[in-house]
Structure 1
Amino acid sequence: MARIAGTGDAALRAVAPRAATLVYRALHADIVSLCLKPGEPLHDRELETRFGVSRTPIREAILRLADEKLVDIFPQSGTFVSRIPVRVLFEAILIRKALEETTVRLALEAGTRERFDVLEANLGALEAAARAQNRPLFHELDTAFHEEISHIAGFPGIWDAIQQVKVQIDRYRLLTLPEEGRLSRVVEEHAAVLAALRQGDADAAVGAMGHHLGQMLGELKDRGRLDPDHFIDDDADGAADRLTVASTRTSSHAH
């Protein structure tokens, strides 16, 4: 990756807070996109060379990532990309599911044919990315579909809240995209959401969105198919199972 540049290394070192932000953003993107794998070590000297900055902005960026549970710092051992915490992931899925069930209902009430046409164009691009097996582009378009629904609803602030909780979801989703049939299934689920919106069927739209996001809860219980070293089981008391059951009951009562 290219060094952070634009005003020269000396200027970046003189503006450590700005350099720290640039390093944070780059590492955050690498961790979420799985360019940096769970458990992978992060060495200060290598990062200093990569970004062309001193140790101070590197450490500031690392501390910020640690606050977000994206890296683990062990004073005697080093700094490592965090494994995906199972309980946190369950909670994030439930929060996102609840928020997006709300936004899709609001989008149906506020949407127009033209706004739904934007979703249709996104769906077409998503299908093309699936055929090409372009998983990075597929993930980008997937995210854009959900973001557009929040904007159609007229509450972009809800999407801001979703972004804060979906970091671990994104890491998990990117781990699962290579699975057989995954891309085509996501396309079908998005198509079901869009069809319900065009038909003006609020319950169907909420149900389709709930199914699309909620099925990850069941999949997580069968995560043995994935590399176990990518996860940390922080759910010794079985809270994730209780959350899944509660979510299923809530959804069945609502629909």
Structure 2
Amino acid sequence: MRIASPSKSVRAIPASARIHGVLREQIVGMEIPPGALLQEKQIALACGVSRTPVREALLKLADERLVDIFPQYGTFVSRISIPAMRDAMMIREALERAAVRAAATYAGGGDIAALRGLLVEQHALHEAGRLAAFHAADEVFHQTISEIAGHPNLWRVVRQEKAHVDRCRILSLPQPGRRAMVLSDHGAIVDAIACGDPDAAEKTMLDHLGKVLPSVAALVQAYPTYFEESPLSPEPPPAPNEPEPQLHCDQNPPEPAARRGKAVAAKKSAS
């Protein structure tokens, strides 16, 4: 595997953090599917590092429940856990309902314009069929709401917890009507924020997030080997001759999507 020489900015990042970021992005983005074999030696060769930082990156991914390490067998991408999804959605709903209420309270004209601009962008990506970019824009939309609320770090917490949820969301995007439903929900959320109605904003956000888990049953049927709870999912570890996924190490570890457009949360004291 040919890997481009890392830039200075990439080399400045610890190797284990760089490898963790790249692997995490590809696992969550379903570029490396559930059950795939990850070999320390091959990853080290691809990234031009020793096996020590690779091992450190894999251990961190194991802590995040994104890989399973089986001594004497190998390391495999974890299958999607429905209980982990339920836990993540409980955390996400608790945080985002508070964020959207604050956004509806504090949003100014520039904030609303930024959100509507993101909606226009998502519509264009939907029409173009660019699923990965559509998902990334979805992330920016929710992150922007937390920034308008005055809690920019909130989205980091949500992002850390929802990896299993994101894998399902990406699997669901090609389903007929799925992206249109997301766009409709986002439009309703923006309208509620623009009206300065915290109750309506909270309700529309919870209605939106509440559609995630009910969609899982269809995904389990469509991709049975991707889920831990599926009766058709093979027992770990998978076959040791499973092909090695392609790894691209010539990039920085991904940061949460940068917010586009000007949206400044107006800080107001509670009256």
Tell me the TM-score normalised to structure 2 length: 0.79
Higher RCO structure (Cα 8 Å, ≥6 apart) = 2
Higher helix proportion, which one? Answer: 1
Is 1:83 aligned to 2:79, yes or no? yes
**Is the 1:30–1:36 Cα contact (8 Å) retained in structure 2?**
yes
**How far apart are the structure 2 equivalents of 1:136 and 1:54?**
31
**Structure 2 portions without partners, runs of 5+:** 231-271
Aligned to 1:122: 118
Deviation of 1:175 after TM superposition, in Å, equals 1.1
2:254 — aligned with what?
none
1:35-93 superposed Cα distances (whole Å, 9 cap, x missing partner) = 10000001122212211111111111111111111110111211100111110111101
Q: Which position in structure 1 is the counterpart of 2:208? A: 212
The residue number in structure 2 matching 1:65 is: 61
Aligned to 2:154: 158
- Structure-2 separation of matches of 1:218 and 1:228: 16
**Residues 220, 227 of structure 2: 8 Å contact kept:** no
Letter in 2 for 1:229: T
- 1:233 is matched with 229
Give the match for residue 255 of structure 2.
none
Please give the secondary structure, in 1, of the residue aligned with 2:68. strand
Partner residue, 1:6:
7
Cα shift at 1:224: 3.4
3-state SS of 2:31 partner: coil
Q: For 1:96 and 1:27, how far apart are their aligned partners in 2?
A: 23
Q: Do the aligned partners of 1:94 and 1:214 also contact (CA within 8 Å) in 2? A: no
1:172 correspondence with 2:168: yes
More deviation in 111-120 or 222-231? 222-231
Give, as a single letter, the amino acid of the residue that structure 2 aligns with 1:63: L
Matches within 5 A, 1:96-111: 96-111=92-107
1:5 aligned partner, one-letter code: P
Maintained 8 Å contact 1:3/1:51: no
Query: Which residue of structure 1 aligns with residue 196 of structure 2?
Result: 200
Q: Is the 8 A contact 2:168 2:219 kept in 1?
A: no
Give the 3 Å change call, closer, same or farther, for CA 208–99 of structure 1 in structure 2: same
**Aligned residues of 2:112 and 2:194 also touching (Cα < 8 A):** yes
Cα displacement (A) at 1:5: 1.9
Would the aligned equivalents of 1:32 and 1:171 in 2 still touch at CA under 8 Å? yes
Write the letter of the residue equivalent to 2:210: G
Segments ≥4 residues shifted beyond 6 Å: none
Contact 1:3–1:52 (CA<8 Å) still a contact in 2?
no
Among all aligned residue pairs of Structure 1 and Structure 2, give the percentage whose two residues are the same amino acid.
38
| Structure 1 vs Structure 2 CA RMSD | 2.0
**2:125–2:133 Cα contact (<8 Å) kept:** yes
Deviation at residue 200 of structure 1 after TM alignment: 2.1
Within the candidate set 102, 125, 147, 2:143 is matched to: 147
- Do the aligned partners of 2:168 and 2:216 also contact (CA within 8 Å) in 1? no
